[in-house]
Amino acid sequence: MDLSQKLAILSDAARYDASCASSGTARRDSRDGKGLGSTEGSGICHAYAPDGRCISLLKILMTNFCIYDCAYCVNRVSSNVQRARFTVDEVVQLTIEFYRRNYIEGLFLSSGIIRSPDATMSDMVRIAQRLREVESFRGYIHLKTIPDAAPELIDQAGLYADRLSINVELPTDNGVKAYAPEKNPATIRKAMEDVKVRKEIASERSYKGKRGKRFAPAGQSTQMIVGADISTDATILQRSTRLYGDYKLRRVYYSAFSPIPDATAKLPLIKPPLAREHRLYQADWLLRFYGFDVGEITAARPDGNLDLDIDPKLAWALQNRGIFPVNVNTASKDMLLRVPGFGTRTVGRILSTRRHRHLRYEDLLRMGASLKKARAFITALGWTPGALTDSANLRACFAPPPKQLSLF
């Protein structure tokens, strides 16, 4: 099998991992002329596929042979997809040659589990080590760690990689038990805990004030599959809140369960719930950057799911109209962050401008606020929403028009 065929199989197998982030790691460059690559804070998306997803990293599996049998996974042992395996050298060469042509920011290496978790993990570490120590590669490396691998291997992985990740796979332990029988949720959590602790140790200074070697400077992340089991959005968001809190995760990714080749009868193929995935990301942002808590976001509907027709902040505001309208010239930052149509940037601009003068409706337009949403919830100089805030058909202004069900 030639390199091109292997690349086809092993990138095909890797596309169900949502993460392609290459941001937020330590700053590095190669100005000394002795290495290749740089990382400068913000990541770069070098291309976009027609699925709208950014291509920032060379995202491949080392091998798609796997001894596990996870129902949602294209690479499970019981699937008949074609199998392939890269050599260490092939992965290193592909990464370097793609990087030199400015196609990518670095490598995201994952793998099916072959022989044993330790054997798989040590092969992956060898690839990262070759890139760093032999090729002097200073770009981004993301390693998907194997939950059951030995702690020494994870230690090594964290020294070479910018980010480590372990997928929790499904939002509940029962879900994991049902669909990923060989995986153990407790082991996965233990592995995340270990990475967190290892990272904390690395950031401490010794009694001489020296810092240890940096350990996974871009932190750790995880992914949950959405729509494969029956978990509600409330369950999912509670889970991610715990993950952010307990393990200091940088990101939780939500991946809408999407059809795979040679699917199992255990998990019938559905249309991937992309709208739901999108709403979950919005809610995730509200939790992390807008001061909301899970209860508030998921209270809007009795079934514990997010409203698919309108965004979660708007849904919350419509439920809590008593607080609105807020005066943009006097309201607190926390309150401004809760206005639908205002992002963190808009709020920052409002705060800095209103130190100098009172804001009018048109001013907000120039600052980039989405007034189509915000107008019903704010007052400004020369603007009051009047009865709009409490009007019965306010939701209808935002939601897509109702569709008659098709008879066929």
Residues 6 or more apart in contact with residue 51 via CB below 8 angstroms? none
Residues in 353-382 at the binding interface with another protein, rule: CB under 8 A = 353, 355-357, 359-360, 362-364, 366-367
Residues in 2-21 at the binding interface with another protein, rule: CB under 8 A = 3-4, 7-9, 11-12, 14-16
Residues 6 or more apart in contact with residue 257 via CB below 8 angstroms? 72, 225, 226, 227, 228, 267, 270, 272, 273
Does 41 participate in binding another protein (rule CB under 8 A)? no
Which one of 19, 21, 58, 221 is in contact with another protein (CB under 8 A)?
Answer: 58
Selected range binding another protein among 29-37, 189-197, 216-224, 393-401, rule: CB under 8 A: 29-37
CA dihedral of residues 387, 388, 393, 395 (deg, nearest 10): -140
Residues in 150-189 at the binding interface with another protein, rule: CB under 8 A = 177, 181-182, 184
Which one of 150, 151, 203, 261 is in contact with another protein (CB under 8 A)?
Answer: 261
SS3 string, 269-298, reads CCCCCHHHHHHHHHHHHHHHHCCCCHHHHH
Which one of 1, 40, 150, 295 is in contact with another protein (CB under 8 A)?
Answer: 40
Does 67 participate in binding another protein (rule CB under 8 A)? yes
CB of 72 to another protein, least distance (A): 13
CB of 385 to another protein, least distance (A): 20
Upstream peptide bond of 272 is cis (omega within 30 degrees of 0): no
CA distances from 147 to 76, 164, 223 (A): 17, 11, 14
Residues in 182-211 at the binding interface with another protein, rule: CB under 8 A = 182, 184
Selected range binding another protein among 149-157, 195-203, 215-223, 253-261, rule: CB under 8 A: 253-261
Looking at the Cβ atoms of 52 and 400, the one nearer to another protein is: 52
Residue in 77, 82, 67, 69 with CA at minimum distance from that of residue 6 = 82
Does 245 participate in binding another protein (rule CB under 8 A)? no
Q: Identify the helix (H) or strand (E) that includes residue 243.
A: helix 233-247
